[in-house]
Structure 1
Amino acid sequence: MTERELEILALLKQDPLIPQQNIADQLGISRSAVAGHIMNLTHKGVIKGKGYILAESRYAIVIGGANMDILGRPLHTLQVGDSNPGSVSCSPGGVGRNIAENLARLGSDTHLISALGKDTYGQMIMTQCQQAGIDMKGCIQLDEFATSTYLSVLDGDSDMHVAINDMAILEKLSVAVLKTHEEVLRRAELIIVDANLSAESLEYLLSNFSDRPIFVDTVSCAKAEKIKPFLSSVHTLKPNLKEAEQLSGISIDSHDQLPELANWFHSQGVKRIFLSLGSDGVFYSDEGVQALVPAMTVSMVNANGAGDAFLAGLAHGWIQQWSTEESTQFAIGAAVVALSHLATINPNMSEITVKRVIKESLC
């Protein structure tokens, strides 16, 4: 779907009886343009019949952090301990939220469960997510807590030098809150969680919904430890090499040892593992099928968000019932799209864009 179609779909989900003129007024386009987009959505099978009845779809639920990302970018080589000329930008982020927005922009029906403050940042995040087509009914908004913020500073090569996060509000995404969403969790095609969640919330989700495919983003070495007792409930795990080494206790000196590392996770019950190797690509292992997929060449603008786009690509591939090989290639393409834009989420993210990037890389 196009970005405009996603915006219209988001409005229809909120109010299936909304007049076309109201849609036009909210999006700043003509009523005839709205009618054309709705006709396209009908031809694609997204809308069925009168009253904008939306087609039943296989949906994903993402549970995790939603932040406002504050990014500092120096004009030249970063001078530590000094004031650096550069630029500062703000954009909605957070691992769970990033995965959800990328997944929605790729065209998959996506729900987000997270915690936001009733402040300016929280409203900005809510608005952008809804415009991207994410179902936000599962998010809680709290008066007494500030929306999470993630402050990062890039180095001269556009890679992260240092970051600080304030995610205290996510502790309010408790087991009691998650239990109110049990029915929608039971019907999900897959559940995606990030390790920013509290240990208690992760235990609840991984212990009670293991009959659903659960995809896990480890986030960091420190936070990955929280999922170690529940690896048997993980369907798809996406760590980087350092996180995988810490969880397994296995140190890797060469790529020849990657199968050994992956097999350790399989012995713990993980069905699929995708090891991020940075510029060396991705090693995946799925039921005896293992491969090292090289990275695509990209002119990196911002390293933030590439891993989130990768996991969204994997989830989209699962919903589309693609093979692991095809899903991995698509996920790498999604990461490349993310890397090529200054904002955490590339507004051009779509299935069409990713497939074009993959096609160009093969030329």
Structure 2
Amino acid sequence: MRLTSREQEIVNILKKNPLISQEELADVFGITRSSVAVHISNLMKKGIIRGKGYVFNEGPLITIVGECYLDINIYQKDYTNSHVETIDIKYKGVPLEICKVFGNYGIRPKVITFLANDQVGEHFLKQMQELELDTQNILKLNDSRSIRRVHINDTLTYAEDISDSDYYEAIKTKERLLLNSDCLITDYKFATEIVEEILSKKPDIFPELCTYIIDKNLPDIPDYISKFKVVVLGVNNTLKSERAINTFLDFNLDADQVFAITDGKSEIIAINDNKTHRFPLLPNQTFSVEEKIPSFLAGLICGILNKHPLRQAIRIAVGSI
């Protein structure tokens, strides 16, 4: 978290004397009480302290930007004399899936997402509250219902989404949080706009960006991805991922960056410090890249935040699925 020199001075005093009054702080710095109140308010907005009594959040400020949606999957099977349908309904979304993993490590990130004022939105909000997440930055959908996706036999056939322009305008309203985050995890669909928004402000320190990409056709990976700290690419077959490996190597990744490629079936390929490492998956470690990549990403981030070696961070990622 980036603090001004005065904010850091106030933090240092509050840690030594958490019961000090704002009037006393004003006397220490030779400023008005209202100025102290503004600094305290900014420290709360930045996630450094929580409310009166000045309880400190010692960990890094982590923010997640992503969608929450109702996923409806209809499975149809035709038999000789009958037609059978099975309906599978799940509450899904990057924020929840990542936060469930983070909760096991005591990490409570801030969440930027859209929730409607309906039963589905209330369910998501309740889940987030149970995970003790900071929900102050949730954006309300007042004129539409919650996002829905309908699949038939795992093929997307219908979607109710928020327009990209509405999302991007909403994200801009959270500019301060984005810029002040130590670690910023974003749904890939928002990655371009978030990077452009941050670059346009020319911050002294760039947030550590993290995302995942699921594309079995191995897309052309854009150059701006080189600015990310952690990226996980889900593919159909790692044996056909040489182009992605070469692209990541061309980025000249440093020792702090980890880019991983996996099909969830055979192995995990990790590029770090411009070197390639391969970690085979055991039969009991396989997973669906469509379903579990966010959880894998969350575990990998936890391993990296805790300064574990790459091999151990990969183990934590696999164990988080």
* C-alpha RMSD of the superposition: 3.7
Given that 2:68 and 2:114 are in contact with CA atoms closer than 8 Å, whether structure 1 keeps it comes out as yes
- In our comparison, the structure showing a higher alpha carbon Rg is 2
- Give CA deviations for 1:231-279 in whole Å, capped at 9, x if unaligned: 232222211235xxxxxxxxx8847x74x64242232365431001221
Given that 1:115 and 1:170 are in contact with CA atoms closer than 8 Å, whether structure 2 keeps it comes out as no
Q: In structure 2, how many angstroms separate the alpha carbons of the residues matched to 1:134 and 1:63?
A: 13
Residue equivalent to 2:108? 109
Residue equivalent to 1:91? 90
> TM-score scaled to structure 1, two decimals?
0.61
Residue 220 to residue 116, structure 1, CA distance change in 2 (3 Å): farther
Given that 2:285 and 2:318 are in contact with CA atoms closer than 8 Å, whether structure 1 keeps it comes out as no
> TM-score scaled to structure 2, two decimals?
0.68
Does 193-202 or 271-280 show the bigger shift? 193-202
Identical counterparts, % of pairs: 17
Residue equivalent to 1:184? 177
Residue 283 to residue 85, structure 1, CA distance change in 2 (3 Å): same
Corresponding residue SS for 2:135: coil
- Give CA deviations for 1:98-125 in whole Å, capped at 9, x if unaligned: 2233323442121111112211111111
Residue 303 to residue 254, structure 1, CA distance change in 2 (3 Å): closer
| Aligned positions, number | 265
Q: In structure 2, how many angstroms separate the alpha carbons of the residues matched to 1:294 and 1:79?
A: 38
Given that 2:182 and 2:208 are in contact with CA atoms closer than 8 Å, whether structure 1 keeps it comes out as yes
Residue equivalent to 2:209? 214
Higher normalized strand content (fraction of residues)? 2
Corresponding residue SS for 1:109: coil
Deviation at 1:307, TM superposition (A): 0.9
- Give CA deviations for 1:32-59 in whole Å, capped at 9, x if unaligned: xxxxxxxxxxxxxxx99x9693543223
1:144 equivalenced with 2:143 (yes/no)? yes
Residue equivalent to 1:196? 189
Q: In structure 2, how many angstroms separate the alpha carbons of the residues matched to 1:333 and 1:193?
A: 22
Q: Which residue identity lines up with residue 106 of structure 2 in the other structure?
A: G
Residue equivalent to 2:12? none
Deviation at 1:301, TM superposition (A): 9.6
* Structure 1 unpaired stretches of 5+: 1-46, 155-160, 243-251, 336-363
- Give CA deviations for 1:41-97 in whole Å, capped at 9, x if unaligned: xxxxxx99x9693543223211111112234468xxx559x84354x3433212344
Residue equivalent to 1:268? 251
Residue equivalent to 2:274? 288
For CA contacts below 8 A with separation 6 or more, give which structure has more relative contact order. 1
Q: Which residue identity lines up with residue 211 of structure 1 in the other structure?
A: F
Deviation at 1:223, TM superposition (A): 11
Deviation at 1:309, TM superposition (A): 0.6
